[in-house]
Amino acid sequence: MLKGKNVLLGISGSIAAYKSAVLCRELIKKGAHVKVVMTPDAVGFITPLTLSTLSKNPVYSEYSDAKTGEWNNHVELAKWADFFLLAPATQNTIAKMANGICDNLLLAAYFSMQNKTFFAPAMDLDMFKHPSNQQNIKRLEGFDNVLIPSESGELASGLVGEGRMAEVESIIKAISSEDSSWVGKKVVITAGPTYEAIDPVRFIGNHSSGKMGFALAEKVLNKGAEVILISGPTQLTAPNGAQLIKVKSAGEMLAAVRGNKANLYICAAAVADYTVAKPANQKIKKKTEDLSLELTPTVDILAEIGAHKKKGDFVVGFALETNNELENAQTKMERKNCDMMVLNSLRDNGAGFGGDNNKTTILHKDNNVVDFELKSKSAVAQDIIDSIQLKWLG
Ligand code: CTP
């Protein structure tokens, strides 16, 4: 995707500018052509010599070359670029871009851009959180610029929190995705089985392997979105870049979902409908007489998400059925207020729990129903993501 692309790399004055050298090198490695434009302040953080060596092009930071008097044409730079990538984007430069202030070459190049602009904010925690900064970021997104969200972590000031520039790997991923409509979106995926404890050594579980949910997480990450994967016990390794929250019971899964607000929810987990009312504290000893367990219903996580979804959110559920498949899935979609339902039938050979393949039918709220062939779970995940993209992001 980056091969042969002309990238105008903008650098504004932040300590995170040291990462721009690695970013520049990665862009070149991926086959992009890179020109660098810096604000006058950025030159104090990283030398133009480093960047011109890495980019194999002159670096621009002034309107004209003081020695030769040659004019650096911002319009030409903007026309040349397939996109403008501002990393790091400081509070000052973001504010100027959001408010039409053009007092350096970098800003002049930005205001001359016809193609897409990506920006990766970098600043201290309190500056980042300040309402004026948040408003400016929103404003820039409103102008169709793409935010590459900053990450939480240790900041140059010693404070810990949000505001750290996204890692080079995340920036490359965000600008490489075919389209940027997923960038900045938060996606919660539930996966795997749940285990409801009977006593300290026994539980009620099911055969879900988690493969479908983990495959979905990978596809969503490839789109450049942020993924929170809330999974019951599985043998699987979470894809790189996903935030994995491990849970055991339906109650723990519910708490994790409640603690993580998202724009898109995909509930692929096989959640127990009942839990043991009073799990024993000690191992239950064998006796000769019958043993009864009292079960009590769990909260339906998907139904709760559906009931509280906000405008613009998208909610996807799964339905595993053995009979009256379409009708049951349709009713489930309505009852749980989902936008889309992925139906698996246990009557389809080779599909369902445990295996590597799946056969699905996707139902949409607008009555559109699409049948898919038996495919690998990875290919099914791609079909699901494509369907979500079509209905949710247009
Ligand atoms: N689900 C959930 N929380 C529950 C039960 C189910 O989030 N406590 C979600 C599943 O992740 C799935 C969807 O609801 O996306 C449908 O699950 P399914 O077991 O097929 O449906 P149920 O509502 O449990 O209905 P039934 O078992 O009667 O078919």
- Please classify residue 164 by burial: count the beta carbons closer than 10 Å to its beta carbon, then call 0-12 exposed, 13-18 middle and 19+ buried: buried
Please state the φ and ψ torsions of residue 390, each to the nearest 5 degrees: -60, -45
pLDDT at 353: 65
pLDDT at 66: 78
Indicate the CATH number for domain 6-176.
Answer: 3.40.50.1950
The predicted-structure confidence for 346-387, as pLDDT tens digits, reads as follows 766 666 666 778 889 999 998 889 888 888 888 899 999 989
pLDDT at 348: 67
The predicted-structure confidence for 64-122, as pLDDT tens digits, reads as follows 887 888 888 898 999 999 999 999 999 999 999 999 999 999 999 999 998 889 999 99
Burial 327-360 (b: 16+ CB within 10 A, else e): ebbbebbeebbbbbbbbbbeebeebbbeeebbbb
Q: pTM here?
A: 0.71
Percent of the chain with pLDDT over 90: 74
Could you confirm whether domain 186-393 is CATH 1.10.3720.10?
Answer: no
Ligand 1 nearest atom to the CA of residue 273, by list position: 8
317 pLDDT more than 70:
yes
**pLDDT (average), residues 158-170:** 86
More confident residue, 356 or 191: 191
Average pLDDT over the chain reads 93
The predicted-structure confidence for 216-240, as pLDDT tens digits, reads as follows 999 999 888 999 999 999 999 999 9
Q: Tell me the torsion sign for CA atoms 329, 330, 331, 336.
A: positive
161 pLDDT more than 80:
no
CA 145 – ligand 1 centroid, Å: 38
Query: By mean pLDDT, which of 183-192, 306-315, 322-331, 374-383 is the weakest?
Result: 374-383
Interatomic CA distance for residues 204 and 213, integer angstroms: 21
Q: Is 13 helix (H, G, I), strand (E, B) or coil?
A: coil
DSSP 340-387: EEEEEETTSTT-SSSSSEE-EEEEETTS-EEE--SEEHHHHHHHHHHH
* pLDDT tier at 156, thresholds 50, 70, 90: confident
CA 299 – ligand 1 centroid, Å: 10
- Please classify residue 190 by burial: count the beta carbons closer than 10 Å to its beta carbon, then call 0-12 exposed, 13-18 middle and 19+ buried: buried
259 pLDDT more than 80:
yes
Active site residue 206: yes
Interatomic CA distance for residues 45 and 13, integer angstroms: 7
pLDDT at 157: 77
CA 220 – ligand 1 centroid, Å: 22
pLDDT at 43: 96
pLDDT at 322: 87
Interatomic CA distance for residues 252 and 229, integer angstroms: 13
Q: Is 184 helix (H, G, I), strand (E, B) or coil?
A: coil
Identical fold between 6-176 and 186-393: yes
Nearest CA to ligand 1 atom 8: 300
258 pLDDT more than 80:
yes
Sheet holding 33-38, edge to edge: 59-60, 33-38, 6-11, 83-89, 116-121, 146-147
CA 271 – ligand 1 centroid, Å: 6
For the chain, the structural domain boundaries read: 6-176, 186-393
Q: Which of 90, 91, 12 is nearest to 45 (CA)?
A: 12
Give residue ranges with CB within 6 A of ligand 1. Answer: 190, 250, 267, 269, 271, 273, 298, 300-302, 317-320, 332
pLDDT at 178: 60
User: Of the listed 57, 73, 206, 328, which one is catalytic?
Assistant: 206
From 208, 258, 302, the mutation candidate for ligand 1 (largest count of ligand atoms within 8 A of CB) is 302
